[in-house]
C-alpha cells in the first residue's frame, strides 16, 4: 500500500507547516502513485482551503519517516 505525503503550510501563517498522509488503497507502486496522485491532493486542497501544499511525495505506507 502506498501513501501520499503532503507537506502543507497554513495560508494565514506560512511558517506553520505540517505533513499530512493520504493512504491509497490497492496495489500501487511508487511510479503509479506519482502519476495518479494529483487528483487526490487536489481533492484534499479543496477540502482544506486554509492549507497550501508546498510539496508532496509517494512512499510505501510501511515507512514512517517523512
- pLDDT tens digit sequence for 36-49: 999 998 999 999 99
What phi, psi does 63 have (nearest 5°)? -85, 130
Residue 49's nearest CA partner among 16, 5, 10, 14 is 10
Handedness of CA 34, 13, 51, 21 (dihedral sign): positive
| pLDDT < 70 positions in the chain | 64-66
54: its cell numbers:
508546498
User: What pLDDT, on a 0 to 100 scale, did the predictor assign at position 61?
Assistant: 84
User: What pLDDT, on a 0 to 100 scale, did the predictor assign at position 15?
Assistant: 97
Amino acid at each position: 500500500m502506498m501513501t501520499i505525503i503532503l507537506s502543507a503550510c497554513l495560508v494565514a501563517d506560512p511558517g506553520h507547516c505540517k505533513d499530512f498522509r493520504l493512504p491509497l488503497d490497492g496495489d500501487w507502486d511508487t511510479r503509479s502513485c506519482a502519476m495518479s496522485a494529483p487528483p487526490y491532493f487536489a481533492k484534499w486542497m479543496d477540502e482544506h482551503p486554509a492549507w497550501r501544499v508546498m510539496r508532496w511525495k509517494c512512499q510505501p505506507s510501511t515507512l514512517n519517516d517523512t
